[in-house]
Chain A
Amino acid sequence: MFVLGAGVSYGVVPLLRDIGAWFVQQLPNDEQHKKAHSLAEKLATGKPNRGEVAELFSLLQSEKEKSRGIWRRFSEAFLLGSDPKIKMGEQGQTPFSGLLKANPSEGHRSLAGLAANHAAWVLSLNFDGLTVKALIKKGGDAAGVALHSAEDVRRYFSAPDALKSVPAVIKVRGDVFYARCDNSLCPAAAAEQALDRLMRDPPQSDLRCPSCHAGQLLLQFLFPGFRSKEEAAYPILWEARGFLGPRVSAIIIVGLSGRWDRYLLEFLFDWARERELPVLDVKPDGEDAKVIESFWQTYFKGRVNFHFINATAEEWLPEFCRAFDWKNP
């Protein structure tokens, strides 16, 4: 089972620090925005803690009209690549063309190959939906589905009459995941829509509500620390464990720092302990490289077999898939 973090989409979608840099540029540096500005600066340097990030996005998504204007511009820049564009990459120079237009990387495509051949299950913390996109690009319509809630997971595994086995990506509610209509008269204003359900090919030029078609769709950014995110995560994880328990032979974590998701690490290592599964942590050496290893050393050393692999998802996933000959196992 592969557990995907933001590192899998590195270079394809912006990281939190890129988003932070955008807000530093866009937020007025006045008294009203002082707090948000300083938090955004921290985010841009990659040094904030969970509480600070949660606080920043709470402020930005508050009902106040001033914040709302910025948040709307951010939603459009993030999803559609509107101006002012979010910049990403090592030097922060590559303009992001919008999530709805983003294409899967080589890593996503390799993983989609494994999943399509029933050789892997995928649990993703990413908001980009690129693994499902890779599955659909590879296998055509209905070649992959994203499961966003415990009910989705149960319905997928319990479908009695499906004539074809379609791989699924189980989404543990990620950093940015949902959009909600801002037209208070629209029935969809009460419900959050999963982003992958708004994505169309070719991408639409603006962001419209699927219910009232008003161009007033806003992102809902749910970072760890938000109660609704934490509450939504466990039911999905336990539901997945009920169905996948004996089908998993190893847990391979790719591109996940582990810094924001202690509950997930605890859950995964507990699963690994109970089933005697090895855990692999694939990410390049760097600032957050040892977070998962240190968690393992503190709580699960001697009870779970753990290995750290120093590589980027982009390098490692295609190489692993080439080595794993699923056509002739």
Chain B
Amino acid sequence: MNGALSYVAERDVVEAEYCPEGERPSLETCFAELVPEAARSILENVSQWGLKELWLGVAPGNHSRWNHTKGALTIALRWYHHLNRHLTSQGLAKDCLRQLGLKEGAEDALRKLVLLAVALHDIGHLPFAHLLGEVLESINWVPEGKGLSGLEQEVLEARFKEHFQGLWKKLGSELSCNPDSVQAAVTDLISGRHGLPWAQAIVNSPIDADKLDYVQRDSEFLRSHTSIAGGRLPPTGKGQKAEWLTEFFAEQQVNHAGMLCLSGRSAVLAADLMRDRIYLYDRFYLSPEIRAIERMAFELIQQFLIRAVMSERFSQTATAGTSSDHSLESTSTLGATMEAEDAVGDIRKLKCRLAAHILMRLAPRRRTSLMEFTVLEDMYRMLKNEESVDAGVRELWQQCFDQLRQLKERGVSISELAKRALVREPLVLKRRQYDLALEILRPLQHVYARQALIDLVKLPRALGGGGRWRGRTARKVDEVDWNILVPEGPISRWGGGSKACRPLTDEAVRELERPYARVLVVAPFGSDVHSEYIWDRVRAALLEGGVELVRRARRA
């Protein structure tokens, strides 16, 4: 950001539904000079779900990252105030600041850092949401991230550098510290690696403000537009969100070590949130119906990016015929970049950076109701002119795009299309065998590249977000950072009157885990005897390779 910083008006930041009657004006005051306009313009142009809204036959409209960010910010502000009041009354606020290396009286600075991190938590997202990350991961183009995915980390850093330098300087002078330290603190909070547990719990943890908002928001959107996720979704009626939050905060406090303690009803509602989140992943975000459609989009995005990054010729010829807004002009291929920068080192990082750059270049600069679909359309337009590709594969691409366009134009419903394209039932395996299955399926996908698409996805862990870390010494450990305390016993026994006394670990929420991965065979031309043969081959290859398939109990 060059020159003077401009901020979003306070009244445009608060999400009224999360505010109890009468509290809105005081919350608005707290947002003064906090959220930079640049954040809004980036987030308004990215939909909350990538292309999923379109698959449901609904324009994303207000279901954007910006509106989600406003919701998360309002929750974070109410949450911060609640905990800060508690810390001050217990005389622990001073210790918290010292642990961060901040002077006494810097409470306002801490508030700004926490809220800014929430405001910018999605700034590392590109069009297509998490699908893009999956695309790049499947071709091993994602460098190791520090808490975030490598792609998100790359984009976050690039955007921080491009748009927010002025912000770090301003905050640095307010806090009398180096602007780089401010940027580092915000980055750590976003990536779940910050050292103040209760603040980290608000920004990125298994129950953070982001998840509180998106579980509510997405449930509401699903309830109004589809019956796909069934009935078990949290209440989202008028006034209920604010009440839910008030109850959620009621039995929360911060202990002497800065840990967020969830007792009684607060713990019960946290458990509900985690349960609902897993439910949404299982029944909607990663449901077979949605994945069947996403796999077609996945294929187009992946094939486009491989060529746009790796092929000089593709970059030059593909631009012809695209709108001036969306072109590959001024983007660079891997070879050219390596030559220009005399690059050595992590080639994955370079590929990821180039793919992100291309996506940022293609992303719509003005708000459209279709958001990412226009980008997908342009990608396909560039791809279909690619003559060096096998005709059968090109036909498959065309079929994929035609199906997706029909869906967007509501010529077909998602359930009809999924029914047509999904071959038999999903194959379910244990999540720990995901990598093994991936290696087995990779060559099979090449063999059947003209007929079918194979999809492999794993359900997330119950404790999502936060800094998940892996110890590699004698005991292999895979855990989240312990920032939150919960009651003793299994999660189903947390109840009113229970006291926070142990860390929120994977073990504490074991009951919620759905430790599975699913394999789908998707036939864009429609399921038939040939695609059923491919399904059989996939199943046989998995079994031969040592993958243990999970049999689901048949319903009586």
Q: What is the interface of chain A, defined by CB distance below 8 A to chain B?
A: 117-119, 154, 156-166, 234, 238, 241-243, 245-249, 263, 266-267, 270-271, 274-276, 326, 328-329
Known contacts A118-B99, A157-B259; A242 and B503 CB within 8 A of each other: yes
B:315-330 near A, CB below 8 Å: none
Say which residue of A161, A249, A275, A326 sits within 8 Å of B255 (CB atoms): A161
Q: A194–B501 Cα gap in the complex (Å)?
A: 24
**Are B92 and A165 in touch, CB under 8 angstroms?**
yes
User: Are B503's CB and A267's CB within 8 A?
Assistant: no
A165-B257, A326-B98, A329-B103 known; A245 vs B501 contact (CB < 8 Å): no
Answer yes or no: B194 CB below 8 A from chain A CBs: yes
Known A242-B505, A328-B103: A160·B469 in contact at CB below 8 Å: no
By beta carbon, the residue of chain A nearest B103 is: A328
Q: Is the CB of B505 within 8 A of A263?
A: no
Which of the segments B124-132, B386-394, B470-478 contacts the partner chain? B470-478
> What is the 8 Å Cβ interface bit string for chain B, positions 439-472, against chain A (1 contact, 0 not)?
0000000000000000000000000000101111
Of A118, A119, A266, which one neighbours B473 at CB under 8 angstroms?
Answer: A266
**Is B426 an interface position by the 8 A CB rule?**
no
Contact A234 B474 (CB under 8 A): yes
B195 contacts A246, C-beta separation under 8 Å: yes
Contact residues of B: prevailing secondary structure: loop
**Looking across the interface, which residue of chain B has its beta carbon closest to that of A241?**
B471
CB distance B98 to A119 under 8 Å? Answer: yes
Query: For the complex, what is the distance from the CA of A117 to the CA of B146, rounded to whole Å?
Result: 29
A266 to B473, alpha carbons, bound, how many Å?
A: 7
Q: Which residue of A lies closest to B483 (CB)?
A: A246
When the two chains form the complex, which single residue of A166, A243, A248, A328 contacts B482, counting CB atoms closer than 8 Å? A243
Q: Are A154 and B467 in contact (CB under 8 A)?
A: no
Q: Given A158-B502, A270-B471, do A243 and B257 touch, yes or no (CB 8 Å)?
A: yes
Distance in angstroms between the alpha carbons of A276 and B474 in the assembled complex: 20
Q: How far is the CB of B508 from chain A (nearest CB, A)?
A: 12
Q: Is there contact, CB below 8 Å, between B481 and A245? A: yes
Cβ-neighbour of A163 out of B90, B477, B481, B482 (below 8 A): B90
- Nearest to A274 among chain B residues (CB) is B469
CB within 8 Å of A: which of B492-507?
A: 499-503, 505
Please, how many angstroms separate the alpha-carbon atoms of A214 and B500 in the complex?
40
Selected A-B contacts with CB under 8 Å, 24 pairs: A118-B99, A154-B502, A158-B259, A158-B501, A158-B503, A159-B256, A163-B256, A234-B474, A234-B475, A238-B471, A241-B471, A242-B503, A242-B505, A243-B503, A246-B188, A246-B192, A246-B193, A246-B467, A247-B99, A270-B471, A274-B470, A275-B193, A326-B98, A329-B102
Question: CB-CB contacts of B167-203 with A at 8 A, as 1s and 0s?
Answer: 0000000000000000000001000111100001000
Q: Which of B73-92 contact A (CB under 8 A)?
A: 90-92
Q: Given that A157-B257, A165-B92, A329-B101 are contacting pairs, would A238 and B469 also be in contact in the complex, using a CB cutoff of 8 Å? A: no
Contact with A along B504-528 (1 / 0, CB 8 A): 0100000000000000000000000
> Do the beta carbons of A157 and B503 come within 8 Å of each other?
yes
Name the B residues within 8 Å of A270 (CB-CB).
471-473
The answer to whether B98 and A160 touch across the interface, beta carbons within 8 angstroms, is: no
Query: Chain A: which residue is nearest B261 at the CB level?
Result: A160
Residues of B within 8 A of A159 (CB): 255-257
Given known A-B contacts A118-B99, A163-B90, A246 and B194 have beta carbons under 8 A apart: yes
Min CB distance, A18 to chain B, in Å? Answer: 32
Contact A242 B481 (CB under 8 A): yes
On whether the beta carbons of A158 and B195 are closer than 8 Å, the reply is: no
Smallest beta-carbon distance A55→chain B, Å = 23
Q: Which residues of the partner chain B approach A263 to less than 8 Å between Cβ atoms?
A: 473-474
Cα of A118 to Cα of B503 in the assembled complex, Å: 21
Report chain B residues within 8 Å CB of A165.
92, 95, 256-257
Whole-angstrom CA separation of A247 from B473 in the bound complex:
20
B333 at the interface (CB under 8 A from A): no
CB atoms of B98 and A157 under 8 A apart: no
Known: A241-B471, A275-B469. 20 other contacts (CB 8 A): A119-B101, A157-B257, A157-B503, A158-B255, A158-B501, A160-B501, A163-B256, A165-B256, A166-B256, A238-B475, A243-B503, A245-B467, A245-B469, A246-B194, A246-B195, A247-B195, A271-B471, A274-B469, A274-B472, A329-B101
Measured CB to CB, the closest approach of chain B to A111, in angstroms, equals 16
**Using a CB-CB cutoff of 8 Å, which residues 209-227 of chain B contact chain A?**
none
